Amino acid sequence: MLNKILETKKEEISRLVLPEEGQFTKRSFYDALKNPNRHIGLIAEVKKASPSKGLIKENFHPVEIALAYEKGGADCLSVLTDVQYFQGANDYLTAVKNAVNIPILRKDFIIDELQIEEARRIGADAILLIGEALEAERLKELYDDAHSKNLDVLVEVHDIETLERVLKVFTPKLLGVNNRNLKTFETNIHQLKEIAQLIPKDTLLVGESGIYTKEDLDTVKSYGASAVLVGESLMRKENQTEAIKELYGEIVNG
Ligand SMILES: O=P(O)(O)OC[C@@H](O)[C@@H](O)c1c[nH]c2ccccc12
């Protein structure tokens, strides 16, 4: 699946026309996760659909969801911008950026500098780079390019092999472990356990995907994560502010 998505991205890049510059207040994604509102930081994801789950949210209103997440005390947001596989949009990100005061990650499959410039212009504060998508040297180039444009970077890996490949070339400040295998779409939150032991001390660790309950949150924290990235389980609830409080065990069953 990942390979298919990357083929689509190459094609999109070949006809990409950069949008006009917007006026945005840049917010530090890294600092927000370094000083989270709760015992474990939260990146709440604005996610309409995914290739593995299909449509997740009917009557999808990205700005309302983002405001509800912010009200619930999310530290950062992630907004899917991939159109073809996740039914996301650049416009969703821009609209959300204009509505909230917390930093925003552009969630997409970034393999080229043009997409980083695009991310900046549509109002992103940070981008995602996927370890399994590129050679480590190329990841490092994109990582440096993003920082030169004042964007933070969440580098995501799924397995130890990828992490070791990356760490030979550079040490990301923010490292996500995706519990979902992007080739098979299976999730396993214990994926983090072994990988966490190899993470350099100053790197902030984010547990991503497949987090549904307070128990999952506590498990991921016990493995060493400083923050989590949660999409589906929050999106499926009626009220995203309450969904966050439930996830953190602040209210029981809404
Ligand atoms: O909906 P979930 O299982 O809570 O997962 C959120 C997020 O981690 C997931 O959307 C994700 C992680 N890495 C990605 C890369 C591309 C697209 C999506 C993702």
Indicate yes or no: pTM above 0.95.
Answer: yes
Give yes or no for residue 207 CB within 6 A of ligand 1.
no
Write out pLDDT tens, residues 132-185. 999 999 999 999 999 999 999 999 999 999 999 999 999 999 999 999 988 788
Asked whether 176 lines ligand 1 (CB < 6 A), one says no
pLDDT tens per residue, range 23-68: 999 999 999 999 999 999 999 999 999 999 999 999 999 999 999 9
Which residue owns the Cα nearest ligand 1 atom 11? 209
Active site residues: 45, 47, 107, 156, 178, 208-209
**228 close to 220: Cβ distance less than 8 angstroms:** yes
- ipTM of this predicted structure: 0.98
Among 208, 212, 216, 232, the mutation site with the greatest number of ligand 1 atoms within 8 A of its Cβ is 208
Q: How far apart are CA 29 and CA 226, in angstroms?
A: 13
Report which of 105, 99, 53, 101 is spatially closest to residue 233, judged by C-alpha positions. Answer: 53
Q: Ligand 1: does its nearest atom lie under 6 Å from the Cβ of 232?
A: yes
Check residue 6 and give its pLDDT: 97
The string of pLDDT tens digits covering residues 3-34 is 999 999 999 999 999 999 989 999 999 999 99
SS3 212: coil
Confidence of residue 69 (pLDDT cuts 50, 70, 90): very high
252 — pLDDT class (breaks 50, 70, 90): confident
Structural domains for the chain: 2-13+27-247 (3.20.20.70)
Measured between alpha carbons, how far is 58 from 14 in angstroms, rounded to an integer?
Answer: 32
Predicted pLDDT at 191? 86
Residue 33: φ, ψ to 5°: -80, -25
pLDDT, residue 253, reads 61
Flag whether pLDDT at 203 surpasses 80. yes
Residues 6+ apart with CB under 8 A from 91: none
Which residues are bridge partners to 55 per DSSP?
49
Q: Cα(124)–Cα(102) distance, rounded to whole angstroms?
A: 11
For residues 100 and 107, give the distance between their C-alpha atoms in angstroms, rounded to a whole number. 17
What pLDDT does residue 181 have? 86
Cα Rg of the chain, angstroms = 17
CB 98 within 8 A of CB 104: no
* Pair of tokens at residue 19: 């949008």
Average pLDDT over residues 82-111: 98
Whether the predicted pLDDT of 254 surpasses 60: no
